[in-house]
A and B are shown apart, each in its own frame.
Chain A
């Protein structure tokens, strides 16, 4: 009952365009006033402060900052050059290059929107010049950017791990195989379209040229290997790994590539700070509602209610998949995670779903949500770069989203795919 009332109040407030974070705060104030009295209101200020001092979440601004520094140091251009040398010989080579570069870029960036912005601005105009239909070029860039949230580091994974109180490192590791499968699946789909439209190859396979472009892009590969290696090896935490990524990116930009674009960097730091604050304000005010719901034992009641219908974990997973796919249509992924994960975790635990497995499922679901209008941040960014109509692009993108859905189902019902390396290294 408490969940329903809070949900309805929140819905009413957000429908008039009050930010969701503020709506959560207002609902919490209302709930406290009604049930505990005005003397408990200082708990709102204390809760908002405590909610925002969550140490593991420091990884979010730091990974954003690292990505911004790397972008400002010309890394995208070098990655594209290497991917072109490696994959350009296949029919529809530029589409392959886009997906390949996204796979590499995902290891640096924790954000799919950043991925689209960095690679789309180079590759969408290039594909258009080579005769690719605009909706196809936009779909390739948009869908492959979702790999950024599946392959570590991933900002939605960091948020999930904190909300579900599970290991972010294990979640990072669980994303590796699904990310690679997703990349290969998208390449196959791109190849299908390349044959339909008879798209060109870019250049012959040329080993010396591949070696030359690899050497130029080598730092782009060494950095994530070192950073993720130290995180996976337990030498540093994810938060500290993120700080090291900032330092390493600065060293590469200032002393190795020597082309740090300070104006772009300043803009990206400010926007990174704003984006962090947007998510953290949600975390802060959701803490208030979360505390209230926990005291009312609402998540446990929800778990018990669903357990009366079914305790089959595969059926529960199917229900949760549908829930998150619908949420993904309408909500920013951070908001969806913050609002729902604490509520559904007792259910997830009670039917015996591995929280790391579930975290990966949530991440892929919300990655798909970034591709599906009306609220589709990644697709909208790609369309803005391509100057393309969202619905026209969606007609093509639906095929690529289908690939991501297949990956989601595969990971949902064959848990060994994401969990094999986790079991091998950490359990």
Chain B
């Protein structure tokens, strides 16, 4: 049951990330095409930048589910098991606590933004664009919880959990920022 929920959640986030990656390309290409035709789109820069922010926080939740965020897992592997338990628990509490705080203040900001709209698209509320912060934070927390049992097993087994040591297919390595 737990694995099914995790797998469904992963597929949902993957679908969102694919849509945002493809959407971002389409927005930028439309921007170039319209500008070349002498009819520059006024909303192009703003919408592309918002799409990047959405890709950042929806993608960050998926990265949390895959435990792919850049960290230093080597130290926790070297300490005695009893210390590992304490360090693991502290790290999980800090991460979840930070995003719980982000979700709360992100929501507070949305309340403050009531009535504001995008500069280039006055019909679109700014709240929609910035909703990604509280929503992304909640998605991150869910991902962190769903990936916790696996991360716990790996930590106790002394596995680094480093994304580079963890990859399976070659397709995934084709897409890297390094």
**Which among A17, A41, A263, A279 is the interface contact of B88 at CB below 8 angstroms?**
A17
Contacts of A65 in B (CB 8 A): 21, 25, 175
Does A239 sit within 8 A of B, measured CB to CB?
Answer: yes
Q: In the complex, what distance in Å separates the CA atom of A272 from the CA atom of B68?
A: 12
Q: Which of B31, B52, B69, B108 has the largest number of chain A CB atoms within 10 A?
A: B52
Q: In the complex, what distance in Å separates the CA atom of A377 from the CA atom of B175?
A: 13
Q: Which chain A residue lies CB-closest to B176?
A: A113
Contacts of A20 in B (CB 8 A): 69-72
Which stretch of A174-182, A204-212, A313-321, A378-386 is in the interface?
A378-386
Q: How large is the interface on B (under 10, 10 to 19, 20 to 34, 35 or more residues)?
A: 35 or more
Q: Are A49 and B132 in contact (CB under 8 A)?
A: yes
Q: Which of A42, A112, A274, A279 has the largest number of chain B CB atoms within 10 A?
A: A274
**Proximity string of chain B (71-90) to chain A, C-beta cutoff 8 Å, 1 when within and 0 when not:** 11111100000000001101
Q: Are B76 and A282 in contact (CB under 8 A)?
A: no
Interface majority SS (helix, strand, loop, mixed), chain B: helix
Q: Are B48 and A46 in contact (CB under 8 A)?
A: no
Which stretch of A91-99, A130-138, A332-340, A416-424 is in the interface?
A332-340
Contacts of B22 in A (CB 8 A): 269
- Taking the closest CB of chain B, its distance from the CB of A38, in whole angstroms, is 10
CB interface residues, B 120-156, toward A, < 8 Å = 130, 132-134, 155
Q: Are B178 and A273 in contact (CB under 8 A)?
A: no
Q: Which chain A residue lies CB-closest to B29?
A: A243
Q: Are A16 and B28 in contact (CB under 8 A)?
A: no
Q: Are B25 and A271 in contact (CB under 8 A)?
A: no
Does B12 sit within 8 A of A, measured CB to CB?
Answer: no
Contacts of A283 in B (CB 8 A): 56
Q: Which of B48, B53, B75, B177 has the largest number of chain A CB atoms within 10 A?
A: B177
Q: Which chain A residue lies CB-closest to B45?
A: A55
**Which among B31, B75, B106, B175 is the interface contact of A17 at CB below 8 angstroms?**
B75
Q: Are A330 and B72 in contact (CB under 8 A)?
A: yes
Contacts of A332 in B (CB 8 A): 70, 178
Q: Are A274 and B59 in contact (CB under 8 A)?
A: yes
**Proximity string of chain A (43-87) to chain B, C-beta cutoff 8 Å, 1 when within and 0 when not:** 011101100111101101110110110010000000000000000
Known: A48-B133, A58-B49, A276-B55. A17 touches B178 (CB 8 A): no
Q: Which of A19, A149, A155, A335 has the largest number of chain B CB atoms within 10 A?
A: A19
Q: Which chain A residue lies CB-closest to B30?
A: A243
**Which among A25, A113, A242, A280 is the interface contact of B55 at CB below 8 angstroms?**
A280
Contacts of A278 in B (CB 8 A): 59-60, 63, 68-70, 177
Known: A21-B69, A270-B14. A275 touches B176 (CB 8 A): yes
Further pairs besides A268-B175, A282-B70: 17, Cβ < 8 Å: A17-B75, A20-B69, A22-B99, A29-B98, A53-B50, A55-B49, A58-B28, A61-B55, A111-B176, A117-B170, A243-B32, A246-B29, A271-B176, A276-B56, A278-B60, A280-B59, A330-B72
Task: In the A-B complex, list the 4 residue pairs whose CB atoms are closest, starting with the nearest.
Answer: A277-B59, A117-B173, A272-B175, A19-B69
